[in-house]
Amino acid sequence: MSDRKLRLGAFIMATGHHIAAWRHPGSQIDSGTNIDHYIEVAKTAERGLFDQVFVADSPGLWFEGDDEAFSRQGRVSHFEPVTLWAALAAVTKHVGFVATASTTYEDPYLLARKFASLDHISKGRAAWNVVTTGAENVHGNFGYDKHPDPETRYEKAHEFVDVVKGLWDSFEDDAFSRDPASGVYFDPAKLHTLNHVGKHLKVKGPLNLERSPQGYPVIVQAGSSEPGKELAAATAEAIFTAWTSLAEAQAFYADVKGRLAKYGRRPEQLLVLPGISPVVGRTQEEADAKWAELQKLIHPSVGLSTIAPFWPGEDLTKWDLDAPPPYIPQPPLGRNSRAHVVLELARRDKLTVRQLYEYLAGARGHWVVVGTPQKIADEIQTWFENGAADGFNVMPPVLPESLDDFVDLVIPELQRRGLFRTEYEGTTLRENLGLERPVNQFTVRKQKAA
């Protein structure tokens, strides 16, 4: 266990993960489209020796709803992830870049191309967070009449990832001789045309880009649904997940690691990285005060909009915020875990309406740890050493302030405990994460055939 290294990613959400972060003086208020903000944050992450920075994404608006709550959203305008990370790759040297892109709405050839470009530009620091897009409001942007159902989306995702990997392998690693004397630039026998024809996709290839420093970008997956776990087991090298208790996180960890064998993979080939939203204070009182200050910034209409879906057809603005909800409905069928959690809190703990939305709005249901660097390091260490996590996706409540706090206060504590690196081990993201560089599939086939 002693040489096992903690992996840390910084999950960058414009002004921060707290829903009211943009109103906080520690945030950069226009950060969604402020490149200098992202440069600062990436450099801070690199100063903290983070493995990677990560942005979530949806190819459409993050939020829609009644204008009152909508007008108070700080996340309405933001960069396309690969374009953003390419810019930051040019001004950093070590940190990796995880960009989210959708297998439901993007094109595999263009996606393969932009991610391979990012891997070259960053000299081997790119990763692709494979999502099928959960949002129901995006399909119209792509000419679809409706959002495909999860089964169809995940079926296509498997095929899509295979196609993209095939395109990334178009050129073998040693295809380019570039010999000015003979005038031979590359060996066409080491260029492979995919000629994929499948249920969802038809893609000829080859990609017009040589194999990238990492072979291909690290594959990340972020859904914890049943088909999400299966996609991760089949293809992902890191999985982002959200749990608020050690027991749940342990169960999930064992579950996904246990699914790898049937795909011929070993447990260490998939890193499990739960989210943690740390509110750091030099004392517990300071941390509590910081959190209370943030929670106070949630405008009631924004807070109510987060719990309104659990009371369908109801106008929550008429309710007393400081009393329990007038009634508690049955949770919806299916696996909407947030609804179950919130309605259970309302039933069991008799939380007020304000307490309910503060619970959910603070970090959108993610794990919030409010405390000293020691307390936060304790939690991280407990999860890391007890089969719940290979590392964490750190979700700063306010950006840039909370990431500075984490880097200045929590990272040194993790280093003192011998849990975290004191310098980068390698030059590529794969090297830092301890992940193998994948062998080119066409080279493997040729070797088998020979």
Considering only residues 43, 76, 317, 345, which one is a binding residue for a copy of itself as defined by CB under 8 A? 76
* Local structure of 289: helix, strand or coil: helix
Distances (CA, A) of 282 to 377, 406, 434: 13, 11, 33
Instruction: Write the burial class of residue 90 (CB in 10 Å: 0-12 exposed, 13-18 middle, 19+ buried).
Output: exposed
**Phi-psi label, residue 65: left if phi above 0, alpha if psi -120 to 50, beta otherwise:** left
445 touches a copy of itself by CB under 8 A: no
Query: Least Å distance between CB 92 and a copy of itself?
Result: 10
181 vs 247 by CB, closer to a copy of itself: 181
Among the listed ranges 20-28, 220-228, 394-402, 438-446, the one in contact with a copy of itself (CB under 8 A) is 20-28
Binding mask 288-327 for a copy of itself (x = CB under 8 A): ---------x-x--x-------------------------
Distances (CA, A) of 342 to 90, 241, 272: 43, 19, 25
Q: Which of 98, 104, 106 shows the shortest CA–CA distance to 132?
A: 104
| Residues in region 194-253 near a copy of itself by CB under 8 A | 201-206, 208-210
Tell me the C-alpha distance between 239 and 219, whole Å: 9
Peptide bond between residue 188 and the one before it cis (omega within 30 degrees of 0): no
Residue 329 makes CB contacts below 8 A (sequence gap 6+) with 310, 311, 312, 343
183 vs 264 by CB, closer to a copy of itself: 183
* Local structure of 185: helix, strand or coil: strand
Residue type at position 254: A
Query: Least Å distance between CB 104 and a copy of itself?
Result: 12
Query: Least Å distance between CB 126 and a copy of itself?
Result: 10
69 vs 276 by CB, closer to a copy of itself: 69
| Residues in region 78-137 near a copy of itself by CB under 8 A | 78-80, 82-84, 86-91, 105-107, 109-110, 113-114, 116-118, 120-121, 123
Tell me the C-alpha distance between 19 and 240, whole Å: 20
Write the DSSP symbol of residue 23: G
Considering only residues 43, 47, 186, 355, which one is a binding residue for a copy of itself as defined by CB under 8 A? 186
Query: Least Å distance between CB 428 and a copy of itself?
Result: 14
125 vs 257 by CB, closer to a copy of itself: 125
Query: Least Å distance between CB 180 and a copy of itself?
Result: 4
67 touches a copy of itself by CB under 8 A: yes
390 touches a copy of itself by CB under 8 A: no
Considering only residues 189, 247, 333, 449, which one is a binding residue for a copy of itself as defined by CB under 8 A? 189
Instruction: Please name the residue that has the structure tokens 């024809």.
Output: 197
Query: Least Å distance between CB 46 and a copy of itself?
Result: 14
224 vs 428 by CB, closer to a copy of itself: 428
Tell me the C-alpha distance between 91 and 97, whole Å: 12
Query: Least Å distance between CB 53 and a copy of itself?
Result: 15
Considering only residues 176, 248, 378, 443, which one is a binding residue for a copy of itself as defined by CB under 8 A? 176
4 vs 199 by CB, closer to a copy of itself: 199
113 vs 229 by CB, closer to a copy of itself: 113
Per DSSP, what are the bridge partners of residue 391?
7
33 vs 336 by CB, closer to a copy of itself: 33
Binding mask 127-156 for a copy of itself (x = CB under 8 A): -------------xxxx-------------
113 vs 375 by CB, closer to a copy of itself: 113
Instruction: Please name the residue that has the structure tokens 């004392």.
Output: 283
Considering only residues 58, 132, 133, 440, which one is a binding residue for a copy of itself as defined by CB under 8 A? 58
| Residues in region 28-47 near a copy of itself by CB under 8 A | 29-30, 32-33, 35, 39
Long-range contacts of the stretch 304-307 (C-beta < 8 A, 24+): 304/69, 304/353, 304/357, 305/65, 305/66, 305/69, 306/19, 306/357, 306/360, 306/361, 306/364, 307/342, 307/353, 307/356, 307/357, 307/360
Helix axes 373-385, 246-258, angle to 10 degrees: 40
Tell me the C-alpha distance between 386 and 191, whole Å: 46
Cα end-to-end distance, the chain, whole Å: 40
| Residues in region 259-288 near a copy of itself by CB under 8 A | none
Query: Least Å distance between CB 291 and a copy of itself?
Result: 18
Total residues interacting with a copy of itself, rule: CB under 8 A? 77
299 vs 421 by CB, closer to a copy of itself: 299
